[in-house]
Structure 1
Amino acid sequence: MSTAPEVATHVPPAAADHPAVGAAAALLGAYEPGARFLGTPTRTLLGHGVHREVPHDDRPVATRVAATLAAARDAGHPGPVVVGAVPFDQHAPAALAVPDTVRSAPPLSADPLVALPAEPPARAEWRVRQVPEPAGYGSAVAAAVDRMWRGEFSKVVLARTLELDAPGPLDTPAMLQRLARRDPGGYTFALPTGPGRTLLGASPELLVSRRGHRLVANPLAGSTPRSEDLAEDVRRAAALLKSVKDLHEHAVVVDAVHRALAPHCGEVTVPAEPTLVRTATMWHLSTTVTATLAAPETSALELACSLHPTPAVCGTPTDLARRVIADSEPFDRGFFTGMVGWGDASGDGEWVVTIRCAEAREESLRLYAGAGIVSASEPEAETRETAAKFRTFLDAVGVRL
């Protein structure tokens, strides 16, 4: 990445001998609303100000980003990097910009200070509304399963939301602290998406990253909730690795990623069997796909756009699954199941699937969670899965369903 690493000046003196100690935690602590924070397993970024926004027009989003980065460089920006979010519908307006300044540090997972617990959320009376209600969501799942048994399509991802109203202004920096410190090895973000709006989340899923000619994608599909009981937690993990339903769902997604990357690559390596990835709340089936880029001018964002939406967030066949989503979900997904990330003028970057997220306004939050529906899905189980996925964010605000 073209931005030079910077160690924050207020690292504790005892950590000064090792630049990784305290650097990422300092950037996390320096976040304030309106800034752009992104923590990944390779780096921590904090952007301030707006040097240039990516315009919304009829050109593909990757083309607009490349033009914006080139214009920023031509205008004298020393190391332009675009940071932000692309919605589920790539034709809708994105929230992407080249910040005036970007500070970078090693990843949060490499900083011992991130292990220190965040301040717990204050007790508050939140008003919670489920959209749709669990019964309505279960009915939508049952209807989709019935259509699958009739052979109309093979998978669809259906989501539901929680609308939370707070008794006062939201403390988004405190929420970000809790998200990041709970899963420092994942992808944590806080990005402005409009006046008074912030997209916050902690996603476990890398869509694609590019560093030179090397590409990595990490599709996740097939999941089960974690348990606080260690023996039960291990049992659930082992059962997920043997679940015929989840293994089939995962294989469909991995195959789609392979097929989408193949035209851009000279070599694609796909492991024969998935492994497990865990977050604080979920176990996921995971496959790390690696590839060698054939054309060096193809950017990380171009690759991300060719992959998106994968069957992990939409379904298959894609166009029909989109229509089922539009007919079944009583809300606009917005940035949920879109992409968040960064990209530089050389084409390198990291783009992440926007899940385990919420959109924050002054005194309200909208949380999103979805589940992959296949012919073997059961409405009650899929409703429980979405409830478990909500826990990532509910724990950050101190709310229980």
Structure 2
Amino acid sequence: MDTSLAEEVQQTMATLAPNRFFFMSPYRSFTTSGCFARFDEPAVNGDSPDSPFQQKLAALFADAKAQGIKNPVMVGAIPFDPRQPSSLYIPESWQSFSRQEKQTSARRFTRSQSLNVVERQAIPEQTTFEQMVARAAALTATPQVDKVVLSRLIDITTDAAIDSGVLLERLIAQNPVSYNFHVPLADGGVLLGASPELLLRKDGERF
């Protein structure tokens, strides 16, 4: 359902529920409501029309249309290892919204959440990561390597559940021109972030 930003969305986006998908970009921005059906088929060989991923995906879209969902979309996340289960779903409905209006409301957002860090673990630890950085820097000085991308995971446990809607507002305020997303996962968790890059975009028959 391609509509303008609904009043309900405009008023409650600051407290986006954990079970709602959100995506904001210069090309299209939308959020969803409800869940018609989840889809956990691994995406391995998903580029082939004959793959189980594509076949089951087509069947689920056909089912959604048969149940009266106009213009169904599939949202969610696919793991880096495509052999693992996907975390995708078809929402009951979706609504477009104004990126510019969202950027403005995020800047004016004042609600905060008081949290205390109970446990913090860096993976890998600081010393190991510094060794990795030193090795990468040395390699870039040789003809073997032109570019190295390094990252590490920081696992943080807080004394209370994090309000993902509040965190999303902060991310948008700090990164207004990024590709901002909030993805509810099948296990009840949320994947959210602000990326400076969009790896792939399809418009009609063009990629």
Please state if 1:183 is matched with 2:171: no
> Residue 72 and residue 169 in structure 1: after superposition, are their counterparts in 2 closer, same or farther (change >3 A)?
same
> Residue 42 and residue 118 in structure 1: after superposition, are their counterparts in 2 closer, same or farther (change >3 A)?
farther
**Structure 2 CA distance, aligned partners of 1:89 and 1:111?**
33
Please state if 1:53 is matched with 2:38: yes
Residue 97 of structure 1 aligns to a residue whose secondary structure is strand
- Measure how far apart 1:173 and its partner are: 1.4
Please state if 1:28 is matched with 2:17: no
- Measure how far apart 1:100 and its partner are: 1.1
- Measure how far apart 1:164 and its partner are: 0.8
Please state if 1:192 is matched with 2:190: no
Alignment of 1:146-161 (within 5 A): 154-161=146-153
**Structure 1 CA distance, aligned partners of 2:148 and 2:125?**
19
Q: Which residue of 2 aligns with 1:141?
A: 133
Q: Which residue of 2 aligns with 1:388?
A: none
> Residue 111 and residue 154 in structure 1: after superposition, are their counterparts in 2 closer, same or farther (change >3 A)?
closer
- Measure how far apart 1:199 and its partner are: 0.5
Q: Which residue of 2 aligns with 1:173?
A: 165
**Structure 1 CA distance, aligned partners of 2:120 and 2:160?**
14
8 Å CA contact 1:41, 1:108 repeated in 2 = no
- Measure how far apart 1:201 and its partner are: 0.7
> Residue 133 and residue 57 in structure 1: after superposition, are their counterparts in 2 closer, same or farther (change >3 A)?
closer
**Structure 1 CA distance, aligned partners of 2:161 and 2:15?**
19
Residue 71 of structure 2 aligns to a residue whose secondary structure is coil
**Structure 2 CA distance, aligned partners of 1:66 and 1:106?**
30
**1:38 corresponds to which letter in structure 2?**
F
**Structure 2 CA distance, aligned partners of 1:59 and 1:134?**
34
- Measure how far apart 1:125 and its partner are: 4.1
- Measure how far apart 1:186 and its partner are: 1.6
Greater fraction of residues in helix: 1
> Residue 59 and residue 117 in structure 1: after superposition, are their counterparts in 2 closer, same or farther (change >3 A)?
closer
Residue 159 of structure 1 aligns to a residue whose secondary structure is coil
Please state if 1:8 is matched with 2:10: no
Please state if 1:117 is matched with 2:109: yes
- Measure how far apart 1:130 and its partner are: 1.6
Q: Which residue of 2 aligns with 1:91?
A: 83
8 Å CA contact 2:42, 2:84 repeated in 1 = no
Please state if 1:129 is matched with 2:121: yes
**Structure 2 CA distance, aligned partners of 1:58 and 1:81?**
17
8 Å CA contact 2:121, 2:154 repeated in 1 = yes
Residue 81 of structure 2 aligns to a residue whose secondary structure is coil
8 Å CA contact 1:44, 1:108 repeated in 2 = no
Please state if 1:44 is matched with 2:36: no
8 Å CA contact 2:22, 2:31 repeated in 1 = yes
**Structure 2 CA distance, aligned partners of 1:67 and 1:139?**
49
- Measure how far apart 1:120 and its partner are: 3.6
> Residue 59 and residue 123 in structure 1: after superposition, are their counterparts in 2 closer, same or farther (change >3 A)?
closer
Q: Which runs of 5+ in 1 are unaligned?
A: 11-22, 216-401
Alignment of 1:247-266 (within 5 A): none
**2:130 corresponds to which letter in structure 1?**
G
Deviations 1:115-138 (A, max 9, x none): 313324425344322221222112
**Structure 2 CA distance, aligned partners of 1:159 and 1:110?**
29
**Structure 1 CA distance, aligned partners of 2:85 and 2:162?**
25
**Structure 2 CA distance, aligned partners of 1:99 and 1:153?**
44
Residue 149 of structure 2 aligns to a residue whose secondary structure is strand
TM-score normalised by the chain length of structure 1: 0.44
Greater fraction of residues in strand: 1
> Residue 196 and residue 113 in structure 1: after superposition, are their counterparts in 2 closer, same or farther (change >3 A)?
closer
**2:173 corresponds to which letter in structure 1?**
R
> Residue 149 and residue 77 in structure 1: after superposition, are their counterparts in 2 closer, same or farther (change >3 A)?
same
Q: Which runs of 5+ in 2 are unaligned?
A: 48-53
Residue 161 of structure 2 aligns to a residue whose secondary structure is coil
Residue 207 of structure 1 aligns to a residue whose secondary structure is coil
